[in-house]
Amino acid sequence: MKNDRTHFILNNGLLRRKDDNLYFDKFDNDEQICDTKIIPINAIDEIYLLTKVSIDSYTLAFLADQNILLHFFGPFGSFRGNFYPNTPNSVNKSGFVLLEQLRSFDDVTKRTYIAKQITVARMQNAAKNCHKYGIDFDEKPFLNALEKANNNLEIMACEGGFAKAYFECWNKIIKDNKSFKFTIRSKRPPLDKINAFISYVNTRIYNVCLSEIYKTELDPRISFLHEPNYRALSLHLDLAEIFKPIIGDNLIFSMLNKKEITAKDFASDAGRLRFTNEAIKKIEMQMIDRLSRTYKIGEQTFTMRQVIRKEANKIKRCICENSPYEGFVLA
């Protein structure tokens, strides 16, 4: 957990620069400062703003100089955007990689190949979750259909059929079907507690993937599985498909079955569900733990964050060097 350099702000207040460091002034209900804490600039790589926080351009410029990424969330926990530095100190992007990324996107054969490999890994990782919990789930028909897909529309259709069958297994995995019975996936807004949990955890994984992509030469605007046309950024959505079953789904199953998250951890605000601050703290402790766990690949050991960045670089080698690509599947 000490390896993860992520900071979360869960209270209203002011984020400011002072003496080449960061300070957070916490506000009370009358928006008066009731507490001030230092956030050591050398101990963080990214900050999640999960509530109403004021910040000025002087502080933003300082964060840019320090390569600190900000993630902004709305009042109901919905993701609203990022601030990422564009300074001489930030990771340099390569014109060559961008051109190759665009060429690979325009090449239907190559784009389909990468999209298929991402989806194969997503299916295999999700199926492993079912097998781990003793669920009789046969992923082979979906993988066979995927192999025959000729374009992204057909790939997404295969993935949609797989997702429906996979989510039907959740009620066999999750013990508390009274409060967390899965019926249908709903997103904007989530219609029930299980969907609110899925959306929150998936959003965290999207942002982790985006943070790791920013550390590579890839352009986060150009994706292969998801259509990038109407999104500012989309490559992190591709990458997250591989890791949502590994990180997010397993976190949800574990926390619900251990009763670490219960119905009491949700609040209703203007008819919309959201987590309490205490629930967010519990989830984030688990998320940080899972991102910091180590995995051996070949002779090397990587944290899950490093595995995600390694996956992005595998895609880069595929588009730039025509290297074979296989999505990461947890052993």
More confident residue, 326 or 215: 326
Domains and CATH numbers, the chain: 6-83 (3.100.10.20), 95-321 (1.20.120.920)
Residues 6+ apart with CB under 8 A from 14: 24, 25, 27, 33, 53, 54, 55
pLDDT at position 70? 86
Percent of the chain with pLDDT over 70: 94
159 is in an annotated binding site: yes
pLDDT (tens digit, 9 = 90+) per residue, 220-249?
A: 999 999 988 766 789 999 999 999 999 999
- How far apart CA 176 and CA 242 sit, in angstroms, is 27
- How far apart CA 173 and CA 177 sit, in angstroms, is 10
How many whole angstroms from its chain centre is CA 71?
12
Pick the most confident of 44-48, 125-129, 292-296, 299-303.
125-129
pLDDT (tens digit, 9 = 90+) per residue, 35-84?
A: 899 988 888 888 888 888 999 998 888 888 888 888 887 766 667 777 87
The residue to which tokens 């790589």 are assigned: 45
pTM score of the predicted model: 0.83
- How far apart CA 212 and CA 307 sit, in angstroms, is 10
| CB 88, CB 201: distance < 8 Å | no
Residue 155 scores a pLDDT above 90: yes
pLDDT at position 92? 55
321 is in an annotated binding site: no
The pLDDT mean for the chain works out to: 88
DSSP string, 228-257: -TT-S--HHHHHHHHHIIIIIIHHHHHHHH
pLDDT at position 2? 41
pLDDT at position 228? 81
Residue 91 scores a pLDDT above 70: no
pLDDT (tens digit, 9 = 90+) per residue, 184-224?
A: 888 877 888 999 999 999 999 998 998 899 888 899 999 99
Residues 6+ apart with CB under 8 A from 293: 303, 304
pLDDT band at 270 (very low <50, low <70, confident <90, very high): low
Question: Which strands make up the sheet holding 13-18, listed edge to edge?
Answer: 33-39, 21-27, 13-18, 53-55
pLDDT at position 90? 47
pLDDT at position 76? 60
More confident residue, 203 or 272: 203
241 is in an annotated binding site: yes
Long-range contacts of 300-304 (CB under 8 A, 24+ apart): 303/3, 304/243, 304/246, 304/247
pLDDT band at 124 (very low <50, low <70, confident <90, very high): very high
Helix (H, G, I), strand (E, B) or coil at 188: coil
The amino acid present at 323, given as its one-letter code, is S
Residues 6+ apart with CB under 8 A from 103: 319
